[in-house]
Chain A
Amino acid sequence: MYKTEVLLEVKDLKTYFFTDDGVVKAVDGVSFTIHKGEVLGLVGESGCGKSVASLSIMRLVDAPGKIIGGEIIFKGEDLLKKTPEEMRKIRGAEIGMIFQEPMTSLNPVYTIGNQISEAILVHQDIGGEEAKKRTIELLNLVGIPEPERRFNQYPHEMSGGMRQRVMIAMAMSSNPDLLISDEATTALDVTIQAQILELMKDLQKKTGMAILFITHDLAIIAEMADSVAVTYTGKIVEYSDVRTVFKNPKHQYTYGLLMSVPSLVAVETKVELPAIEGMVPNPYHMPQGCHFNPRCPFATETCRKEMPELKELEQQHLVRCLHPVQASKEVV
């Protein structure tokens, strides 16, 4: 994997939601590392804690959610030990974030120029004119045509793809070292999605920033990421570089996910598309032992009793499974 300097190290992060119906362990002991310039894909089904993990890094988890344990070491300092004011100075400056819904993520009553320059003015010691210039540069950078005119437009005057570009410009405004993209392309249609991904890749190459890329779309991960962490019910089940995970998945869940991706070959041979049996367990009633055991064809008595550890199965390939997939199958 990466030999460069570590940028972000999340260690045993636990974010729980304390609701009236019980405690939901949205993120339960997640650890991962992002090096400078690395793109880490965090992949998993809805409700497996991907977004909560990213919001935890920003310390933006809303009540009743609470970070109850772990460390988030960013540039050598634990973000969880920062005061709210110190944390605020990191948000938007050193860590930028873009969200899933471009339609609702921008304030409808302010122009996009206002909303981007605001992010510049809060972190950089420059005047309004300068900020406007920089905003127009940013709009140019993210590929928005006629930036001078767009500066004075409101979000409702733009398409979803344009708005997501605005969000990216906003997140990039202070040249962050880490960009968190929380399902940023999910709400967009496929052609726009491809454009936005292209843009993010391009910006990543230009600036050398690291990206934490959260998605449920395996194809995007394959396209974008250097390494990938597969999450299931708030825990990482498999973690390695993207080539290893895609070529040689070891966890039954990862294997199932990759098998259920439609392939062009399978369509020709009319093989029925396999799917993972069952449903994601109810977060209030997690199964005993390995959380995946009710859906796993290889589950044994031990799997139903104890949660396996995340172990280094091969060099740089972490898997949380007692019965890892044996054969090395080419799945995608």
Chain B
Amino acid sequence: MRTYLTRRILQLIPVIIGATLIAFFILSLVSDPFAAMIENPKIKLADIVRLKHQWGFDLPIYLRFFKWFGSVVVGNWGPSLLYPGYSAREVIFRALPITLQVMSLEFIFSILLSIPLGAISALKQYSKTDYSLTLFSFFGMSMPTFWFGLMMMIVFSVWLKRPSGVPLLPPGGIQTPGMESAAFLPRMLDRGQYLIMPVIVLSLFSVGGWVRYMRSFMLEVLHQDYLRTARAKGLTERTVIYKHAFRNALIPIITLIALSFPGIVSGAAITEYVFNIPGMGRLVLSAELKNDFPTAMIALTLSTILVVIANLAADVVYSIVDPRIRYS
């Protein structure tokens, strides 16, 4: 197991470099960060030439990649072009905690909801409960987040008001002005109000899909011979389901969790726009659109690292829950 892990971790390095290389090439095809500067009368041509040299734009693209990569490795992530005066690091570390809060809540909420719902759906196959849950999950999967977000806002921020006349839930943003320096607990409660709607909108979408997956994994297990054996032993239905069926149905869920895990960092651009949340999804999208390549590249690299680590973690977890899988 240890040699296996060492080998896998060493393999991650070329994978990550390769993925960033591809991202770098694609990003450099799309845009020229100096185009906007040329039109800016305040920037002198000499400054542009100096910047081009400093950022490696006078070099061929493959050499520019290594120049960029070298400086990233030593911790110099470059300036943010989107927010002049800030470094890419500052811009990202402002957005990252917010996205982490929204997405990890969404993540935990979706798992806790969809695993039991999917299992119930399978256990009561073709019942009214099953049909309602199926309807619910198709609704969740097919509902566009931007539209559903707006509908939530109309209901909870426009129609429903508190006695004081303030909307029941704030329609967007992430913090009530003036709460920045409040104590921890009131600050978290304040943050909670802002997170309710985006977390529900995002969860609805992922729960919809996951319920379907969990349902089919569970159904597959329910038809296995070993469940008949378990029943023939005289075990209670509870033991048959929770001990023998559930554990086997959860194994393939690990892959799904690993696949969605990187979303915790990359965020959800559309929902962040709708609810005006200054998170990673929004930041990366505008960085890519506004030629802020240092910020965009760092964000892409972060997601890449998370994708490969999540996959490695999934493989390790597999070997823990499924005794048939052994690595050497």
Contact = CB atoms under 8 A, between A and B. Distances in A.
Chain B associates with chain A: yes
A107 interface: yes
A325 interface: no
A154 to B, nearest CB: 4
A108 B247 CA distance: 10
B1 to A, nearest CB: 17
Nearest to B323: A154
Nearest to A103: B225
Interface string A140-176: 0000000000000010100000000001001100000
A101 B227 CA distance: 13
Interface residues of A, number: 29
A224 interface: no
Contacts of B251: 109
Contact of A91 (B234, B321, B324): B234
Contacts of B185: none
Interface stretch (A38-46, A69-77, A115-123, A269-277): A115-123
A91 B251 CA distance: 29
A156 B228 contact: no
A61 to B, nearest CB: 11
A323 interface: no
A8 interface: no
Contact of B234 (A92, A104, A167): A92
Given A122-B239, A154-B323, A154-B324, A106 B229 contact: yes
A325 B230 CA distance: 44
Contacts of A60: 228, 231-232
A108 B230 CA distance: 12
Contacts of B323: 108-109, 111, 154, 156
B226 A105 contact: yes
B236 A105 contact: no
B248 A108 contact: yes
A230 interface: no
Chain B at the A interface: mostly helix, strand, loop or mixed?
A: helix
A131 interface: no
B235 A104 contact: no
Contacts of A246: none
Contacts of B236: 88, 122
Contacts of A92: 232-235
A159 to B, nearest CB: 15
B67 interface: no
B247 A109 contact: yes
A108 B248 CA distance: 8
B89 interface: no
Nearest to A84: B237
Interface string A64-94: 0000000000000000000000001111110
Nearest to B125: A63
B90 interface: no
B224 interface: yes
A60 B232 CA distance: 8
B233 A109 contact: no
Contact of B324 (A111, A123, A156, A170): A156
A109 B321 contact: yes
A209 interface: no
Given A99-B225, A122-B239, A154-B324, A107 B232 contact: no
Nearest to A111: B323
Contacts of A99: 225, 228-229, 232
Contact of B248 (A101, A105, A109, A123): A109
A107 B231 contact: no
Contacts of A88: 234-236
Nearest to B244: A107
A10 interface: no
Contacts of B230: 107
A101 B225 CA distance: 8
A122 B234 CA distance: 7
Q: Which 5 A-B pairs have the closest CB atoms?
A: A92-B234, A91-B234, A92-B233, A104-B225, A119-B233
Given A89-B234, A108-B322, 6 more contacts: A60-B231, A99-B225, A99-B232, A104-B225, A110-B244, A122-B236
Interface of A: 58, 60, 88-93, 96-97, 99, 101, 104-111, 118-119, 122-123, 154, 156, 167, 170-171
8 contacts: A91-B231, A99-B229, A105-B229, A106-B229, A119-B233, A167-B229, A170-B229, A170-B233
